[in-house]
A and B are shown apart, each in its own frame.
Chain A
Amino acid sequence: MSPRAAWRLESLGFKDVYHYVPGVADWAAAGLPLEGRAAGMATAGEAARQRTALCTPGDPIRKAASRAAEAGEDSCLVVNDEQIVMGRLYYKDLEASAGAKVEEVMDPGPSTFRPNVPVVEIAEFMKQNGLKTTPITTSEGRYVGMLHLEDAEELARQQAAREG
């Protein structure tokens, strides 16, 4: 629609016209501020914890296991130098051969959510799928934080209390 709108504006005499094709979905997924009814809702980006166990694809498994243990978590998120999420190692993977590299064992397609998604929605999804944590990334796949179910549920409760 935005290209058609832009051409329409030109036909109406506007000279300096642009169109932002990725739209509000892209803007919201980048965690940028919004206005409107949804702007007041608690979102995944707000609830996510920034500190979590991270490792790189080339790391040995024992390093990832050590990171997870230090963080008190049962998984390790795999990111590259640009903080793009490349995969995830779960508890069962951390017990794999100490000589293996992360990229040989990791799940290369972990489920992620965007920062703008309301926590109420994600909490429900996580409960239904038995997830204790889920990574939050931008639309480019860049790591934002790790959302814990307990945090999502707490924020959802606070939001419900505010809405009365």
Chain B
Amino acid sequence: MPEKIDRNRLQELIKGGAQVLDVLPEDEFEEQHLPGAVNIPLKELTAETAGRLDKGRPVVAYCYDYQ
């Protein structure tokens, strides 16, 4: 089950090498995103596009806020 985390835990995970996935639409990603985030809009998140991520490393998904 995916773990819900806060900002502090996110920063710890990033320091530990976690991948950060931004699932917002591309234009919103281009406006602003977390440093180093990969953009795969939720509607486009498939086995193929998820191939950009490493299954062997932790991954944190985020969007704008409580949507």
How far is the CB of B46 from the nearest CB of chain A, in Å?
Answer: 8
Query: Does B32 lie within 8 Å of A12, measured CB to CB?
Result: no
How distant is the Cα of A152 from the Cα of B30 in the complex, in angstroms?
A: 25
How far is the CB of A140 from the nearest CB of chain B, in Å?
Answer: 10
Query: Does A19 lie within 8 Å of B60, measured CB to CB?
Result: yes
Nearest neighbor of A36 in chain B, beta-carbon distance: B32
Instruction: Give the residues from 8 to 33 in chain B that come closer than 8 angstroms, CB to CB, to chain A.
Output: 9-10, 13, 18, 21-24, 29-33
How far is the CB of A131 from the nearest CB of chain B, in Å?
Answer: 26
Query: Does A18 lie within 8 Å of B32, measured CB to CB?
Result: no
A1 CB-CB contact with B under 8 Å: yes
How distant is the Cα of A50 from the Cα of B17 in the complex, in angstroms?
A: 34
Query: Does B45 lie within 8 Å of A5, measured CB to CB?
Result: yes
How distant is the Cα of A34 from the Cα of B64 in the complex, in angstroms?
A: 13
A6's partner among B2, B33, B46 (CB-CB below 8 A) is: B2
What are 13 A-B pairs with beta-carbon distances under 8 A? A1-B24, A5-B45, A9-B2, A9-B45, A14-B53, A15-B55, A17-B59, A17-B61, A18-B10, A18-B61, A19-B4, A24-B33, A26-B7
The interface of chain A, by Cβ under 8 A from chain B, is 1-10, 12-28, 30, 32-39
10 more CB-based (< 8 A) A-B contacts, given A5-B45, A17-B2, A18-B60: A5-B63, A7-B2, A8-B45, A9-B2, A14-B55, A15-B55, A20-B6, A23-B62, A25-B64, A26-B7
The interface of chain B, by Cβ under 8 A from chain A, is 1-7, 9-10, 13, 18, 21-24, 29-37, 42, 45-47, 50, 53, 55, 57-67
